[in-house]
Amino acid sequence: MKKITISLVFILISTLIFWNLKNRKIITEDHVDSVGAVETGLVNTNSDVTQQDSRESDDNHFEGHLKSLPTIDDLKNLTEEEVHHTPEIIKDGGELVGVIYDEAQKDPTKRVDAMNFFRKCAEDEKVAVPIRAVCLNRVYKLIPEWEAPVPLIDSKISDEVLDLSMKLP
* Closest C-alpha among 34, 29, 50, 28 to residue 152: 34
97 contributes a contact to other proteins by CB under 8 A:
yes
Task: Select 27 or 131, whichever has its Cβ closest to other proteins.
Answer: 131
Q: What is the CA 100 to chain-centroid distance, rounded?
A: 13
Task: Select 34 or 105, whichever has its Cβ closest to other proteins.
Answer: 105
From the list 66, 129, 153, 162, which residue makes contact with other proteins (rule: CB under 8 A)? 129
Q: Running DSSP on this structure, what letter comes out for residue 39?
A: H
Range in contact with other proteins (rule: CB under 8 A) among 10-18, 19-27, 55-63, 88-96: 88-96
Task: Select 13 or 166, whichever has its Cβ closest to other proteins.
Answer: 166
Residue 39 main-chain phi, psi, to 5 deg: -60, -40
Q: Are 117 and 62 in contact (CB under 8 A)?
A: yes
H or E, element range at 31: none
Task: Select 27 or 140, whichever has its Cβ closest to other proteins.
Answer: 140
- Collapse the DSSP code of 90 into the 3-class scheme (helix H, G, I; strand E, B; otherwise coil) and give the result: helix
Closest separation in Å from C-beta 62 to other proteins: 14
H or E, element range at 29: none
Longest dimension (CA), the chain: 85
98 contributes a contact to other proteins by CB under 8 A:
yes
128 contributes a contact to other proteins by CB under 8 A:
yes
- Collapse the DSSP code of 99 into the 3-class scheme (helix H, G, I; strand E, B; otherwise coil) and give the result: helix
Binding site for other proteins (CB under 8 A): 72, 75-76, 78, 80-81, 83-88, 90-91, 93-95, 97-99, 101-102, 105, 128-131, 133-134, 137-138, 158, 160, 164-165, 167-169
